[in-house]
Amino acid sequence: MAVEVVMPKLGMAMKEGAVSLWNKAVGDSVEKGEPIASVNSEKIEIDVESPAEGTVLQIAVPEGEGVPPGTVICYIGNPGEKIGTQPISASVQNAGSESQAPANELNPSVNKVKTAGDRVKISPVAKKMAEAAVLDIEKIKGTGPGGRITKEDVQEAMKSQRALQAEHPKETRIDPQIVPAQETQAQQVQLSGIRKVIACRMHDSLQKTAQLTINMKVDVTDMIALQKQSAEAVQKNVNNNLSVTDFIARAVVLSLKKYQEMNSALIEDKIHLFKQVHLGLAVALEKGLVVPVIRHAEKCSLNDLSRSIKELAQKARQGQLSNEDMQGSTFTISNLGAYGVEHFTPVLNPPETGILGVGAVYDTPVFVGENLERRSILPLSLTFDHRVLDGAPAAAFLQTVKQYLEAPITMLI
């Protein structure tokens, strides 16, 4: 009997999942443990591996269709083997291939991957990157297992493409304004999975809340000095490394305990003031933004927060977050400092009242009394729901965060 491959359950709250991409087509051979499809449920997307060696006999769930967890999405076995009580003949296999033909005709690159005799092996992420960059995947040399094209291979091909365009600008660059409309082509990508969830939530956030953003600069010279001075002792005694984000998270938690109205949510015309601080930390992934949550952050020491931040960030990048890991936050921190961004306008994560945007630390001369000194400045941007609180208490909250960061020893007492 053929082996069933089912939609996995990605968290206790999952009600439906969808296949975002099939890596295999009907008739393709697969090895045990080889990724055969990518599936997603709201903010989680993972690869489904083949439970057995064999051939893809039938694809039961097409790309983009949502099904409950436990639903059979495909069958793997030997050619001609039975699926349930029905034998899979060559005509059925061909029908399965034909059912995918219309979608493949719309995207030639997909057609090549799924039906060519010498099928190109490419990871889902690399495939999407190659299609977005209009690269011919058959011309990309794969360095992964079995010649599989990886994300890094596509990035190298993109570099080569840019270099070629720089050498032959007249041959490769076309002004889109002089191209007839009927000759203009654009890739169409279905809004689904993580991207669709983010799009809906961000649109609802801006439509249903009264968002206002205030900015403040913080002198973190002493905080960075404390971080560096304590690095060796922290590593030796608790086997950890404290980051700037760890100190910011600690300052936010302590400030939220003083300003409970910022640690709140407006739900059905009632303001819910939370005693517990469930801190959300935005993590940027290739497929979109996820916000894992540190629950009961008010009970955590600086070191506890640091470990939780690192653990959740690692789980996010490995696609191991559950729905429960991303639910119930009462306040969120979004850090774009690693990208060189200073001030920006973070968007609320409903139904939360506030979100703190963290920019990049930069050095600048500052007068300290009569002396001009080199100081490290951290830009902060606080977006809050003006329906819940006014500008003055929001500014007082941000000022308290600033005070903790400028006197970092107070976060350790």
Distances (CA, A) of 126 to 23, 32, 156: 12, 22, 11
Quote the CA–CA distance of 216 and 255 in Å, as a whole number: 15
pTM for the full predicted model: 0.62
Quote the CA–CA distance of 244 and 251 in Å, as a whole number: 11
Q: What is the DSSP string of 268-317?
A: TTEEEE-SS--EEE-EEETTEEE--EETTGGG--HHHHHHHHHHHHHHHH
Confidence band of 180 (pLDDT split at 50, 70, 90): low
The strand pairing partners of 21, in sequence order, are 38
Greater confidence (146 vs 112) lies with 146
Quote the CA–CA distance of 112 and 131 in Å, as a whole number: 12
Omega before residue 351 within 30° of 0, cis: yes
Quote the CA–CA distance of 373 and 361 in Å, as a whole number: 16
The strand pairing partners of 77, in sequence order, are 55
Structure tokens at 364: 């600048």
Mean pLDDT (whole number) for 36-61: 84
What is the pLDDT, as a whole number, of residue 23?
85
What is the pLDDT, as a whole number, of residue 109?
37
Q: Are 405 and 218 a contacting pair, CB within 8 Å?
A: yes
Q: Are 312 and 292 a contacting pair, CB within 8 Å?
A: yes
- 386 in active site: yes
Supply the DSSP symbol for 184: -
H or E element that contains 196: helix 193-208
| Dihedral sign for Cα atoms in the order 233, 238, 239, 243 | negative
What is the pLDDT, as a whole number, of residue 142?
84
Mean pLDDT (whole number) for 59-63: 89
What is the pLDDT, as a whole number, of residue 373?
94
Q: Which CATH number fits domain 194-411: 3.40.50.1360, 3.30.465.10, 3.40.50.740, 3.30.559.10?
A: 3.30.559.10
Quote the CA–CA distance of 199 and 196 in Å, as a whole number: 5
Mean pLDDT (whole number) for 154-175: 69
- Residue among 28, 47, 222, 386 flagged as catalytic: 386
- 390 in active site: yes
What is the pLDDT, as a whole number, of residue 239?
93
Give which of 208, 192, 182, 185 is closest to 347, Cα–Cα.
Answer: 208
Greater confidence (24 vs 361) lies with 361
Greater confidence (55 vs 125) lies with 55
Confidence band of 75 (pLDDT split at 50, 70, 90): very high
What is the pLDDT, as a whole number, of residue 146?
66
Which residue ranges does the chain devote to CATH 3.30.559.10?
194-411
What is the pLDDT, as a whole number, of residue 82?
77
Backbone angles phi, psi at 329, to 5 degrees: -70, 145
Mean pLDDT (whole number) for 174-201: 67
Which residue ranges does the chain devote to CATH 2.40.50.100?
3-174
Q: What is the mean pLDDT of the chain?
A: 83
Q: How far is CA 267 from the centre of its chain?
A: 27
Rama region for 390: left / alpha / beta (φ>0; ψ in -120 to 50; rest): beta
- Residue among 136, 204, 363, 390 flagged as catalytic: 390
Give which of 65, 63, 84 is closest to 4, Cα–Cα.
Answer: 84
Question: Quick one: CATH architecture of 3-174?
Answer: Beta Barrel (2.40)
Supply the DSSP symbol for 352: B
What is the pLDDT, as a whole number, of residue 42?
63
52-75 b/e (C-beta count within 10 Å ≥ 16 → b): eebbbbbbbbebeeebebeebbbb
